[in-house]
Amino acid sequence: GPIGEYRLPFEEEVGLHPTLEDMQESVVHKKERPVILETWRKHP
């Protein structure tokens, strides 16, 4: 299938250049997880 542009884990949540504090806030305090695309779940 089509392959999208590469994105970093948590890029959607914290941007391209997160600080350690940004990551701690996102992962530890907000308990966010990176987006798993639906196309990754389907295996031809």
For position 1, what pLDDT does the model report? 63
pLDDT per position as a tens digit, 1-44: 677 788 899 998 999 999 999 999 999 999 999 888 887 787 76
Task: Look at residue 1 and tell me if it is in a domain.
Answer: no
Give the number of domains in the chain. 1
Task: Look at residue 4 and tell me if it is in a domain.
Answer: no
Task: Look at residue 18 and tell me if it is in a domain.
Answer: yes
Give one DSSP letter per residue of 1-44, joined into a string.
Answer: --------TTHHHH-SS--HHHHIIIIIIS-------HHHH---
For position 36, what pLDDT does the model report? 83
Task: Look at residue 2 and tell me if it is in a domain.
Answer: no
Task: Look at residue 37 and tell me if it is in a domain.
Answer: yes
pTM: 0.69
For position 24, what pLDDT does the model report? 97
Task: Look at residue 26 and tell me if it is in a domain.
Answer: yes
For position 23, what pLDDT does the model report? 97
Task: Look at residue 19 and tell me if it is in a domain.
Answer: yes
Domain extent, residue 23, equals 11-41
Q: What is the CA angle 8-26-31, rounded to 5?
A: 110
